[in-house]
């Protein structure tokens, strides 16, 4: 069979012009590329099969380029580089978070619980009553799911879940100013005109909602009288925003939701992080509701420890206005979000959130347990990478995700240095491992903070370090 294929190739190549034939002949053989040190290193990280496939693909691309009239540079080295690119960019995949940032937005924020995963599998692999009322056999509403749980947990009259918190804020403001005659105004303190990240800026979101921004106070100080003076017949609401990702310290003054609620206008409170249990001095969702916010808005995948979601809880009147606004359809949550959110919320109701939710577990694990984890990992790494300098150091973990910017969580890191690698090169190689390991470089060493390692991650770290050392 292969001789027949070869004969066919000879005929086909014979039909090509000499120049293309020369270029094709100049391409290195798959085996020769796989024997090169760079390819051997790739195989150590990604496995022989994946590396062989990537080298074949890289050579195939070069061949197609030649046939199309191009003259690609295709030495053994360039084929290895192309194969490495193919291997590293294989879509969305698991990553080991050794940064010590628990809610790392770039690494996917919260990690879901087993219970949430089971709910996701059930919702994904079968039909569900997503929009179907089983009692009446008629159409139901996806907006009804998770609502009873949210009402019970926050004490609010009603709730609505959409795609994310930025979307919920836009929807809430749009609903509050809808149908208003003239130019509806929303009052915000200058100390709260923030950018959350990813281009989400409060003044721009307000503009998008159709409201005119009415700024009051100054960056560091805003008083109740500033709000009072700004109220006029066009005022529709007061927006209170938690300045999640920064803190102003020193000569400051701000007005809380409770006082704002005395002004007779709906208060929209964007509390962001969605802490249902106390942590540091983070404003809890429940207290905003209790303080009288008409709408309290928060993320599902920050301190709540659930899926990406934008949750609004508040008065029946304003939640209903949000539900009926056309934007609600554009921002609606999908069934996987609703299933995993319900599973996450039920752990709070049952009092098992701290044990069941990986995010909360990582945030609250006692330093002694983290120290032990670091010592064990350091010992295992030392046995597979004798050429590296390895020690354990105290480290500071963070909650991340734009929450609690000044909150330092005592932690421990395994530090790697020495051998033939500088810390940046070592970090780069670990990022190319399978699964990739993401740490941070500081003081000339690579720090692997173990607070954010999940069960079983140590084996991945070990394999990655073993592959790059020596
Ligand atoms: C994080 C945050 C948001 C955005 O939340 P997403 O769920 O990422 O859309 C909005 N407002 C505040 C105050 C936040 O902290």
CATH number at residue 464: 3.90.1150.180
Same-domain status, 148 and 266:
yes
Residue 379 lies in a domain: yes
Same-domain status, 221 and 260:
yes
Residue 79 lies in domain: 13-88
Last residue of a domain, one of 300, 329, 356: 356
Q: Is the peptide bond before 435 cis (omega within 30 degrees of 0)?
A: yes
CA dist., res. 370 & res. 375, Å (int): 9
What per-residue confidence (pLDDT) applies to 34? 92
Return the CA Rg of the chain. Answer: 28
Same-domain status, 347 and 383:
no
- The string of DSSP codes covering 295-315 is EEEEESSSTT-SSS-EEEEE-
What per-residue confidence (pLDDT) applies to 443? 94
Same-domain status, 232 and 369:
no
How many angstroms separate the first and last alpha carbons of the chain? 43
Nearest-atom number in ligand 1 for the CA of 194 is 13
- Check pocket membership of 161 for ligand 1, CB cut-off 6 A: no
Q: Whose CA is nearest to atom 12 of ligand 1?
A: 272
Nearest-atom number in ligand 1 for the CA of 310 is 7
- Check pocket membership of 165 for ligand 1, CB cut-off 6 A: yes
Last residue of a domain, one of 356, 380, 399: 356
Same-domain status, 346 and 205:
yes
Ligand 1 centroid – CA 299 distance (Å): 6
What per-residue confidence (pLDDT) applies to 470? 60
Residue 301 lies in a domain: yes
Predicted model pTM: 0.84
Last residue of a domain, one of 356, 375, 405: 356
Same-domain status, 448 and 393:
yes
Q: Whose CA is nearest to atom 14 of ligand 1?
A: 272
Residue 6 lies in a domain: no
Same-domain status, 395 and 282:
no
Same-domain status, 338 and 377:
no
CA dist., res. 124 & res. 106, Å (int): 25
Same-domain status, 328 and 418:
no
Residue 163 lies in a domain: yes
What is the per-residue burial (b if ≥16 Cβ within 10 Å, else e) of 400-428?
bbbbbeebebebbbbbbbbeebebeebbe
Q: Locate 160 and state its tokens.
A: 């609505």
What ranges in 126-247 are assigned the alpha helix state H? 147-154, 165-177, 202-209, 224-230
Q: How many domains does the chain have?
A: 3
CA dist., res. 58 & res. 79, Å (int): 6
Same-domain status, 409 and 456:
yes
- Check pocket membership of 242 for ligand 1, CB cut-off 6 A: yes
Residues of the chain with pLDDT under 50: 1
Same-domain status, 288 and 396:
no
What per-residue confidence (pLDDT) applies to 12? 63
Same-domain status, 212 and 253:
yes
Q: Whose CA is nearest to atom 13 of ligand 1?
A: 272
């Amino acid at each position: 069979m292969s001789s027949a294929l070869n004969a066919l190739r000879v005929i086909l190549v014979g039909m090509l012009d000499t120049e293309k034939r020369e270029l094709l002949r100049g391409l290195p053989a798959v085996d020769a590329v796989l024997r090169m040190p760079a390819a051997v290193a790739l195989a150590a990280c990604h496995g022989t099969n994946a590396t062989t496939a990537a080298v074949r693909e890289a050579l195939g691309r070069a061949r197609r380029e030649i046939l199309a009239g191009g003259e690609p540079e295709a030495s053994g080295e360039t084929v290895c580089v192309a194969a490495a690119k193919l291997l590293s960019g294989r879509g969305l995949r698991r990553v080991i978070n050794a940064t010590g940032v628990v809610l790392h937005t770039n690494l996917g924020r919260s990690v879901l619980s087993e219970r949430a995963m089971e709910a996701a599998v059930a919702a994904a692999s079968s039909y569900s009553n997503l929009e179907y009322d089983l009692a009446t056999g008629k159409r139901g509403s996806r907006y009804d799911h998770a609502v009873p749980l949210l009402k019970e947990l926050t004490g609010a009259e009603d709730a609505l879940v959409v795609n994310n918190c930025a979307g919920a804020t836009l929807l809430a403001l749009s609903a509050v100013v809808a149908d208003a005659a003239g130019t509806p105004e929303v009052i915000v303190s200058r100390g709260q005109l923030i950018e959350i990240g990813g281009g989400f800026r409060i003044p721009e979101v307000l503009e998008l909602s159709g409201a005119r921004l009415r700024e009051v106070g100054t960056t560091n100080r805003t008083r109740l009288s500033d709000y009072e003076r700004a109220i006029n017949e066009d005022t529709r609401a007061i927006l209170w925003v938690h300045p999640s990702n920064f803190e102003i310290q020193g000569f400051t003054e701000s007005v809380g939701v409770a006082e704002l609620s005395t002004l007779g206008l709906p208060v929209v409170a964007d509390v962001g992080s969605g802490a249902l249990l106390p942590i540091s001095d983070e404003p809890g969702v429940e207290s905003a509701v209790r303080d009288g916010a008409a709408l309290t808005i928060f993320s599902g995948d920050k301190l709540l420890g659930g899926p990406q979601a934008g949750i609004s809880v508040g008065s029946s009147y304003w939640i209903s206005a949000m539900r009926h606004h056309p934007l609600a359809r554009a921002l609606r949550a999908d069934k996987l979000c609703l299933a995993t959110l319900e599973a996450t919320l039920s752990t709070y109701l049952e009092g098992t959130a701290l044990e069941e939710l990986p995010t909360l577990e990582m945030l609250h694990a006692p330093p002694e347990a983290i120290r032990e984890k670091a010592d064990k990992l350091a010992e295992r790494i030392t046995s597979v990478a004798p050429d590296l300098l390895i020690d354990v150091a105290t480290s500071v973990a963070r909650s991340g995700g734009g929450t609690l910017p000044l909150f330092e969580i005592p932690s421990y890191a395994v530090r790697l240095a020495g051998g033939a690698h500088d810390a940046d090169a070592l970090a780069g190689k670990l990022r190319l491992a399978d699964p990739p390991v993401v740490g941070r470089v500081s003081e000339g060493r690579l720090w692997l903070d173990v607070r954010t390692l999940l069960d079983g991650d140590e084996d991945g770290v070990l394999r990655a370090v073993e592959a790059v050392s020596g």
